[in-house]
Structure 1
Amino acid sequence: MALLDRLSAWFSRIDKSLLGIFELEIVEDRHDRFELKTRRGHFVFDGRRRVVSRNGRTLLRFEQVKSIDVIADKDTGGFSEWKIDLYVNFLRRIRVGTTLDDAQASMVGARIITITGAKGIGWKERHDIRY
């Protein structure tokens, strides 16, 4: 039992920043504006101007976004990793962010679909994960 106690204590001390690559933080959520901070940058989906920007620079217009992809993947630790991508064309995808929380991925993906009007492609299968 002592070994389990030590392992538990060690895992509790791990800095959450190690898991920070799996982070989606909603900064603002209004009907005409959706702001999201991720490890890939600060995204703003501006419904008034109909543009997507990252870190203050315009990436593309809403009309250029063909679909929003919510992709399930499996990492080596056995956890499902959820990725949210803006699909522009066959050669261009923009990764918005990743999370280990399927509900969060669904909510953020749905919110981006709502504000941009793009088609949603969700719950893709990768590495034999089926939803």
Structure 2
Amino acid sequence: RGATRVHAELEKALHEPSLYDEVLRLLARRGHAIPAAVLERDVSRRYEPSPEVEATWTALYAGDENDELARLGEALTDVAELVWRWRNDHLVATRRAMGSKTGTGGSAGVAWLEKRAQKNVFPELWTARSYV
């Protein structure tokens, strides 16, 4: 019974906008050119980076560093960095404990974690820095 409730809660969360989705909606409400395809995407699917979103972050970073949206981008970058550190710590601990054995639930274990560790959270916040 408890597992069914947890599954239902996870399924509900999968279909709700992420923090980044909400931030992109805020940028659009503030007049930034966030494409409709990004704003109306199926939030249950993996987010794909957008050149237009990258351009928006580039413009925000190139402007007033005290602008609240630029500061929001920096706060999100702090969160992304913490996620990256956690993923890498988890990867190292798992590699040390299990080596290359099959992971929990039959996953590829360390290989699966290595693939995930390479993915950036809030990707355009990182790539936009190349243009500022």
TM-score (norm 1): 0.32
Higher relative contact order (CA 8 A, sep 6+): 2
Instruction: Answer with 1 or 2: which has the greater Rg.
Output: 2
- Considering fraction of residues, name the structure with more strand: 1
TM-score (norm 2): 0.32
- Considering fraction of residues, name the structure with more helix: 2
